Amino acid sequence: MIKVGDIVELLPTNNRNRQLRSQEKKLYWEVLQVDTPIYLQGKLGFMLKAVGSSHTRWAEADDIKIHEFRENTYDVC
């Protein structure tokens, strides 16, 4: 199960994803939010932020695969 804080790889499932991977070198993304946005017609979606960039986008589960689990993203004081 992919959750907030995980690092995922954007798969080349469509033209935009292929462009982000090849031209912009944005392969790895951090999961910021898991939700069902309206434009995905009720499907589960993931708000992603490119690692090393401020670029964000929504992706479906078929567009990503887990690269690195983040067990605990909270600082313990």
Residue 74: predicted pLDDT: 58
Is 30 domain-assigned?
A: yes
Q: Is residue 2 part of a domain?
A: no
Residue 35 included in any domain: yes
Residue 60 lies in a domain: yes
Q: Which residues of the chain have pLDDT under 70?
A: 72-77
Is residue 1 one of the residues assigned to a domain? no
Domain assignment present for residue 23? The answer is yes
Spatial distance between the Cα atoms of 71 and 17, rounded to a whole number of angstroms = 27
The domain tally of the chain equals 1
Range of the domain at 63: 7-68
Q: How far apart are the first and last CA of the chain?
A: 27
Instruction: Kindly report the pTM of this predicted structure.
Output: 0.86
